[in-house]
Structure 1
């Protein structure tokens, strides 16, 4: 058979070129195009009548839910949609050392002790290294079949020789290779071909396939984008290695809901489930002595309500360009909220340093966090705490209105369960109109204040007593919009805007 001509493939996006180039025209990456020479020629065209007829059915009909196999780890089952589906493929990605291998080892150990046959194939570590990790976690007695291999042909041949396993773990897909390609493991062609062969093999035998995937510096799964389309579910492990909390987030799931999260705590014996993450994220918060610059967001992650603390610090700046530091939230969203506070509410924040942090290492993406972020910013700018025992949620528009968000009742119930007595939220659909009293809140145990404009939030915080400061602590003698004595930066800005010298 004639040897196929060489081709050049971008390792970032998978684009194919006829010759080498320094920069990929499709994704813009430099030095990402690598030569790949497949050993087999391209397949010939399909002949007429060479295939088999497939059965076509109607759209309506009885649809039974897929069977589930529980892993024994409730947080993992929640993100997976209720358990693992036989014949499905799940891709788990995350930063190095975040806990991907640890979680899968715990899951297959629980499945194996429950009677399922589990095979763990490691392409990065030796067998003894996996045994040492299992010994530290107390899982060395689990009946798991373990091997260290990287050749997909050898793996498939070994599994076909005996009874098929129920669960197969490949750690990781970037270390696997197919011997029909000359390219090195980890390249676009090898990752795509290895995943395709493993998925075809496991679906034919009804094996649940769990793949570990490396991530790039941008946080996405390394390899071709088609890899995420080939699998049935994509789960991301998030978290700061400086924190003990780990977030398992589902971004794709053909057998369940997306945007579900599972919360874990890294311990010496592995990953421990956190069944009440709201209480854990708010564990260090002192409601008896509230401080300025702190608010509580009643958020939603998938179907789970989650309460998390938002911290803000607005401080005078000595720089021509004030600092903007954001951890756990979108910096562009922060700039928008600050612009609305300045233009619609009269708060001067543009020439001040602003720091924003989501406590606990959680990454918040929903627009409902706008109101809680605004409350923390206003509280820090005015040096007055948010009303004690109050949560906040709502989306802020550019005209200063507060827009409704999804599932407000679930947020309020979670807040009442954790002991919060008040909530600042948008005016609900069908609520009271301007000039009429607001309707009573249906959730018992929590007093709701429905807001229509962002200025109402500023007025509520302005009415609070000033923050109690310990003796000897410096107190701010100015409010936003005022200028300190001896500070000519504000005068210079006003003189410039009026054209005076």
Structure 2
């Protein structure tokens, strides 16, 4: 069976397309072949359980030891929950998860870093690694078999889903079929064992989660870590949460020793409290959380027939709308600025 995969964003299609619908690039779809391994077997009848007889204690949440992270999850992870965390390279995904496991007996599986690299980063973050088990194995079947042999595991981290593979699929790691099949094995294992999984996922150049869209439907929770590389602040938000609200966000500040939780609504403001021309304090609401930001503006005369306007951190179309409102209702002549 032949199919086509985009070399840029891993978008899959049944036939060749000139322009990739996933990333918009031209001539990036390459033909792949995969043998069908589907076999029909006689299934035994399933067993059903009344909901009212299910033990409620098994659904208790497990705190991750960081209030901001627990806030986004809805109070912590539930038994057997699979959480997918995405973000730009270098934004702090691995750092965040490595800080979380310092309070839990965890297994850390990394297909991107060696034991020495993870150990060095853990020491920089002052993370006690005495109760952390590490592996750089990328075969998901061997990983799950090894986890099953461990008696007490509170948490498993997979860094990242794009580096893992199974020998039952003949495509390379990171391909759509590999990602789907790996997750198809992780989720049933998590539900059966009751061990929560935190899985890191890559993003495309447009900021979307790399891989099939079905990946987001399969997991229980989808988190994204956002931020500007020029700013130390990071925002953790949820786009899907089966066991909590998606209206909560977590705010962190990146420092030399890792991510620090930000609890104050005014923490994102500059230290200066002086009233200056061109600055304004704006209150916004991110989900259920109020925050205060400082907006700065600078206007200078121009000799160009069409003024050049630049926006950073604010939607440019919103800037254009505000300028139009100021011109009409405040009678401000901004055509030459």
TM-score by length of 1: 0.61
**Quick check: 1:75 aligned with 2:68?**
yes
Mapped partners of 1:26, 1:309: distance in 2: 35
CA-to-partner distance for each residue in 1:147-201, whole Å, 9 max, x for gaps?
1111111111212233262211000111111212222111111112112211121
Mapped partners of 1:204, 1:31: distance in 2: 43
Any conservation in 2 of the 1:176–1:194 contact (CA below 8 Å)? Answer: yes
Q: CA deviation at 1:93?
A: 1.0
Gaps of at least 5 residues in structure 2 are: none
CA-to-partner distance for each residue in 1:104-151, whole Å, 9 max, x for gaps?
01101112xxxxx31000010011111111112222444111111111
Structure of greater Rg: 1
* More off after superposition, 32-41 vs 149-158: 32-41
**Quick check: 1:322 aligned with 2:310?**
no
Equivalent residue, structure 2, for 1:208: 196
| 1:230-241 equivalence runs, <5 A | 230-241=218-229
* Structure 1 residues 244 and 54, CA gap change in structure 2 (3 angstroms): same
**For 2:229, what is the secondary structure of its paired residue?**
coil
**Quick check: 1:100 aligned with 2:67?**
no
Any conservation in 2 of the 1:188–1:224 contact (CA below 8 Å)? Answer: yes
Mapped partners of 1:335, 1:246: distance in 2: 27
Mapped partners of 2:51, 2:119: distance in 1: 51
CA RMSD in angstroms comes to: 2.7
Match among 194, 204, 213 for residue 182 of structure 2: 194
Gaps of at least 5 residues in structure 1 are: 112-116, 353-501
Mapped partners of 1:236, 1:330: distance in 2: 20
**For 1:316, what is the secondary structure of its paired residue?**
coil
Q: CA deviation at 1:57?
A: 7.5
**For 1:86, what is the secondary structure of its paired residue?**
coil
Any conservation in 1 of the 2:81–2:191 contact (CA below 8 Å)? Answer: yes
Mapped partners of 1:339, 1:7: distance in 2: 49
Q: CA deviation at 1:39?
A: 3.8
Equivalent residue, structure 1, for 2:117: 129
Q: CA deviation at 1:26?
A: 7.4
Q: CA deviation at 1:75?
A: 1.0
Any conservation in 1 of the 2:10–2:175 contact (CA below 8 Å)? Answer: no
**Quick check: 1:17 aligned with 2:14?**
yes
Match among 339, 344, 349 for residue 334 of structure 2: 349
Match among 4, 15, 35 for residue 8 of structure 1: 4
Mapped partners of 1:282, 1:162: distance in 2: 46
Mapped partners of 1:165, 1:223: distance in 2: 28
**Quick check: 1:305 aligned with 2:290?**
yes
* More off after superposition, 129-138 vs 315-324: 315-324
TM-score by length of 2: 0.89
* Structure 1 residues 157 and 76, CA gap change in structure 2 (3 angstroms): same
Match among 18, 37, 40 for residue 41 of structure 1: 37
* Structure 1 residues 184 and 190, CA gap change in structure 2 (3 angstroms): same
Any conservation in 2 of the 1:91–1:213 contact (CA below 8 Å)? Answer: yes
Q: CA deviation at 1:340?
A: 2.2
Mapped partners of 1:325, 1:64: distance in 2: 55
Equivalent residue, structure 2, for 1:387: none
